[in-house]
Amino acid sequence: MVTMNIATDRSRVKHLNIEIKARCADQARTRKILLDSGAAFKGTDHQVDTYFKVTTGRLKLREGLFENFLIFYERENRDGPKESNVILCENNPGSALKEVLIKSVGVLVVVDKIREIYFIDNVKFHIDVVEGLGSFIEIESINSNATIGKQKLLDQCGQYLVLFGINESDLVPSSYSDLLLQK
C-alpha cells in the first residue's frame, strides 16, 4: 500500500469537476492503460462514505486511509460527463463530526469501497470495487484553481472515454449511493 497526502493547505476547497462513472469489467486492462499513459499512481484507499439525509445536493463524510473529507456536491444524474459543484472540508479521523451529522440529519446510506487513485495532470482516475455493486472506473477532470474552462474539462473526459473504450452501455448516471438505494 502506498500512502499519500492529497489534502490541500486549506481546510475548505470549492471547485468544479466534470465526471464520468462507468462499469469496469477489466480492471487490469484499465490499470495498464493508465500506467502506459503516464498516470501517477497515488495509492489504494479503503473508503467508507456515509451519505446523510439532506434536502438539496448530496452530503457525505468520506473516511479513508488518506482521504478524509466532508463533501457537499450538486450534480445531475445522467449518462456521460456530468458537471459537479463540489465543496470539500477536511476532517480529522476520530472527530465528532460523524456523530453530530448522524444525530442531526440521519444516515441515508453507506458506501464501502476499495479505491485505486491515479492522476494525469488535473485529471483524477479511480478504479473502484464497491461492496454490493462491483467494479467501476471514475474520471474526474478537476478545475480546482479556476484556470481551466468547462469546455476543456469536457474535452478531457471525452478523450479518456475514447482511450478506455468506454461504451455508452457502460456509463452509470448516478452515484454509488443511488445505486445502493435502488437495490
pLDDT by position in tens, the chain (length 183): 333 334 444 455 667 788 999 999 999 999 999 999 999 999 999 999 999 999 999 999 999 998 999 999 988 777 778 888 888 899 998 899 999 999 999 999 999 999 999 999 999 999 999 999 999 999 999 887 767 888 888 899 999 999 999 999 999 998 999 999 998
What's 12-173's CATH class? Answer: mainly beta
Contacts of 105 (CB under 8 A, 6+ apart): 52, 53, 54, 59
User: What pLDDT is recorded for position 106?
Assistant: 98
User: What pLDDT is recorded for position 160?
Assistant: 95
User: What pLDDT is recorded for position 47?
Assistant: 97
Reduced to 3 states, what is the DSSP secondary structure of residue 150?
helix
Q: Using an 8 Å Cβ cutoff, are 73 and 54 in contact?
A: no
What are the domain boundaries of the chain?
12-173
Q: Which residues of 60-83 are buried (b: 16+ CB within 10 A; e: fewer)?
A: bbbbbebbbbbbbbebeeeebbbe
Distance CA(166)–CA(132), nearest Å, equals 22
Distance CA(166)–CA(91), nearest Å, equals 34
